[in-house]
Amino acid sequence: MTETADTSWPAKDMEDWAKQQVQSIRDAASDGGLRFQAYLPPALALWLLDRIENGIFVDPSEAVFVLFEQARELEPHVDLQQDLLRRQISRAINDPRPSISADELQARFKAAREKPRPDPAVWQTKPES
C-alpha cells in the first residue's frame, strides 16, 4: 500500500482546527458577536473600495454585514441559488476571451505563486472621538 498526500480541501487538520475554534468561541459569539480578519484579492478589494467611495458602504465591516445577511436570506431559496449558478456557468461558457490550455494555466499559476506579492493594504477603523 502506498501513502498518498491528502488532496482534499480543506485539509483534515485545518477542518478539525476550525471546528475546535467554533466550539471554543460559540458562547462568546452568541453574546458579543464575532470579529475576524479577511483578505480580499486585488480585484475584489478594488470592487469593495469603489462601493465605499461611492457611498454604498461606509467601511468593509458594513459590507461584510450586509453581504452576509443577504447570503443568509438567500440560503433557503435553493431554486434561486441554482439559477444563479446556471447563469455563472453560462457566462463562463460564453466568455469571449480565448480559452487556454491546462498546461498554460498551470504555468500561469506557477508564475503567480513565484511572484513576490506586496503586502495588502489595511483598512483603519476611525478612532472614537
Q: Residue 126 pLDDT > 90, yes or no?
A: no
**Residue 4's pLDDT is what?**
65
Q: Which of 4-8, 77-81, 97-101, 123-127 has the lowest mean pLDDT?
A: 4-8
**Residue 2's pLDDT is what?**
53
The top-scoring range by mean pLDDT among 10-24, 58-72, 101-115 is 58-72
Is 9 or 124 the better-scoring residue by pLDDT?
A: 124
User: How far apart are alpha carbons 44 and 51 in whole angstroms?
Assistant: 11
Q: Which of 55-64, 66-75, 117-126 has the lowest mean pLDDT?
A: 117-126
User: How far apart are alpha carbons 38 and 12 in whole angstroms?
Assistant: 22
Q: Residue 102 pLDDT > 70, yes or no?
A: yes
**If pLDDT is split at 50, 70 and 90, which confidence band does 100 have?**
confident
| pLDDT tens digits along 52-65 | 999 999 999 999 99
**Residue 62's pLDDT is what?**
94
